[in-house]
Amino acid sequence: MRLIKKIIILCCLFMISCELHEPLFDNSLDLESAAEKGIFPPALVFHPSRVETTVGGTVGVNVYAMKLEKIGMAQIEVNYDSNKLSVKSVTQGSLFEGGNSPFFIFEDDASNGVLTIYITYLGPGGNSVSGTGDIALISFNARSMGQTEFSINQESIILDPDAKSIPLNGYGKGMIDAQ
Amino acid sequence: MQINVKYIKAQVAIFFLIFNVLLIAQDRPYNTMAVLVFENEGISVLESEVLTDQFTIALENTQSVGAIVSQETVKEILEERDVSDETCTNESCAVEIGNLLGVDHVVIGSVIKAGEWFTMEVDLISVETGSVVESRKSLYNGDPNGLITEIGLLAWNLMNKISPQSLLEEKAEKEREAQLLAEQRAAEAAREAARRLRQAKLGSLLRSTVLPGWGQFYSGRKAWGWIWLGSELAIGGAAYLTYTQYQDAYDELEIIYPNYEAATDHGEIANLKAEVRKVLDEESAANDQLLMVAYAGGAVWVFNMVHAYLSGQVRDEAAVEKSGFDLVYNPQLKSPQLRFYIALD
């Protein structure tokens, strides 16, 4: 009987073994995966780009600068579906740190579903930052069930310390799945 | 002086017998003859006596003997002399009894049953010389009723006479009946054997479906039983090892992939991604191997079942029960006991 039990367990193992991981490799900061989606540095992306929550739950999504050089100021516009999401809070990220205290404000047009984030080092010839890092952390509140997209608007502006525009090659998109 | 009436009657009977014999003796090769009850083996004394009577009747029908002392007369005289013919199986004994009976010849014989075969043997012994004059042996296999015909034919044969047509026809008829009976029995036996074989095959198949090799053990093919069971266990072991590899890769991915998703450094992301791909390949390879082993295990299982059915045979109980344990009641101790037994052949 013990042998039969072992055989039955082994048979069960065979069935379990059919389950295989199928990773999406959708880390928005993965340069390879981003390139597959048509996003090349310098770019602004969300991290993580896919988040799951429950209706009424709050999730945080970082706005990341991907391989940007000498940024002095950023005006980032985020479009979202105001019927399904609401902005609960926006806090400054870790990229703009050091030197003069950076100026950070945001403006949420909930009726149109547009969140605008401003961040800059004060004064001409101010500091600049380079590389990849989080500019802001947006906390969204899921208002209804289902998947909803949010994206960085192409009207977003990145300037160097001399107020010269830095062209961007990619604008990230994100998704919240509220169960 | 006490007069024994029975003895006088027997002596008178023998006197008249001898008288009659003298009248007809010239046409017949033997004057007087006695037939002793045939020795029996595998049949009862009563059956042996009936066969002896039938032989005697057939002997009379041959008209080769002047007079045959009846069984009753033989018994009476032998009883009077306190002699038993039950143990008389050789020439000297036959001669002794022949002298007591006052006959020229004595017939002794035997009817032996071994299995389905009857062996009938008769010897005609000359009382005067003490030698065997004629000896005949007959083998018969068939319905016991046919023995009477056979014994009749044996009597004709002993007297060196051609058997009458009626007896030969009777024998042929008995042979046909015996043949028919044998065919019926053979057909019945074949059907029964086929039914038992079918049952054994199905029993073997069912057992091997539950556990590889069990059916072969059931059929008494222990070597094959071990082969199938061993093969399946070996494959099971391989499956377990492969599954362990798969599970390790699976668990590792459960840890690495969330790290990849959470990473924000490009270098770290690239490294983690490479690692995820490597473990993913390992997981996939282990899974493929596991499937292959599973297919092999399944195939072995199916072949074992097919083999169990094809090689299924009716068990030789004696061979199977060569050793074992059982619970028996010991009347001396008045308690049940565990018994171990083993065949010493």
Chain A CB within 8 Å of residue B253 CB: yes
Domains and CATH numbers, chain A: 2-178 (2.60.40.680)
Using pLDDT thresholds of 50, 70 and 90, give the confidence band for residue A55: very high
- The token duo for B77 is 């005289």
Residue A5 has pLDDT above 80, yes or no: no
> Could B261 and A31 be called an inter-chain contact, meaning their C-beta atoms sit closer than 8 Å?
no
pLDDT score recorded for residue A128:
84
- The token duo for A115 is 């969140």
CB burial class (10 A; 0-12, 13-18, 19+) of residue A57?
middle
Residue from A9, A21, A64, A94 whose CB has the most chain B CBs within 10 Å, to mutate: A21
Per residue in B67-81, pLDDT (tens digit) is 998 888 888 877 877
- Residues of chain A in contact with residue B239, where contact means CB-CB under 8 angstroms, are 10, 13-14
Residue of A19, A23, A67 lying closest to B257 (CB–CB): A23
Among chain A residues, CA nearest to B286: A17
Q: What gap in Å lies between CA B18 and CA B31, rounded to an integer?
A: 8
Taking the model in full, what pTM does it have?
A: 0.58
> Could B261 and A27 be called an inter-chain contact, meaning their C-beta atoms sit closer than 8 Å?
yes
Residue of A23, A26, A132 lying closest to B280 (CB–CB): A23
Using alpha carbons, select from B268, B10, B333 the residue that is nearest to residue A31. B268
Residue A25 CB contacts under 8 Å (≥ 6 apart), including other chains: A32, A33, B260, B273, B276
pLDDT score recorded for residue B172:
87
Q: What gap in Å lies between CA A134 and CA A117, rounded to an integer?
A: 13
Q: Which residue has the tokens 């990773």?
A: A23
- Residues of chain A in contact with residue B304, where contact means CB-CB under 8 angstroms, are none
> Could B269 and A26 be called an inter-chain contact, meaning their C-beta atoms sit closer than 8 Å?
no
Using pLDDT thresholds of 50, 70 and 90, give the confidence band for residue B1: very low
Residue B96 has pLDDT above 90, yes or no: no
Residue of A23, A47, A48 lying closest to B276 (CB–CB): A23
Q: What gap in Å lies between CA A161 and CA A149, rounded to an integer?
A: 32
Residue B26 has pLDDT above 90, yes or no: no
- The token duo for B162 is 């051609």
Question: What CATH superfamily is the domain B5-181?
Answer: ABC-type transport auxiliary lipoprotein component (3.40.50.10610)
Q: What gap in Å lies between CA B298 and CA B314, rounded to an integer?
A: 27
Per residue in B124-168, pLDDT (tens digit) is 999 999 999 999 999 988 777 788 888 999 999 999 999 889 888
- Residues of chain A in contact with residue B297, where contact means CB-CB under 8 angstroms, are 10, 14
Give the DSSP letter of residue B217: H
Among chain B residues, CA nearest to A132: B265
Residue B182 CB contacts under 8 Å (≥ 6 apart), including other chains: B142
Find the mean pLDDT for residues B204-227. 92
Q: What gap in Å lies between CA A154 and CA B263, rounded to an integer?
A: 26
Q: What gap in Å lies between CA B275 and CA A79, rounded to an integer?
A: 35
Q: What gap in Å lies between CA B345 and CA B326, rounded to an integer?
A: 20
- The token duo for B161 is 């006479």
Q: What gap in Å lies between CA B275 and CA B281, rounded to an integer?
A: 10
Q: What gap in Å lies between CA A83 and CA A178, rounded to an integer?
A: 13
| CA-to-CA dists, residue A150 to A24, A41, A84, B28, B264, angstroms | 19, 20, 10, 136, 20
Rounded to the nearest angstrom, the minimum Cα separation between A127 and chain B is 23
Q: Tell me whether the omega of the peptide bond preceding residue B212 falls within 30 degrees of 0, making it cis.
A: no
Contact between B52 and B39 (Cβ < 8 Å):
no
Q: For A71-85, A129-143, B61-75, B206-220, which range has the lowest pLDDT when averaged over its residues?
A: B61-75
Chain B CB within 8 Å of residue A39 CB: no
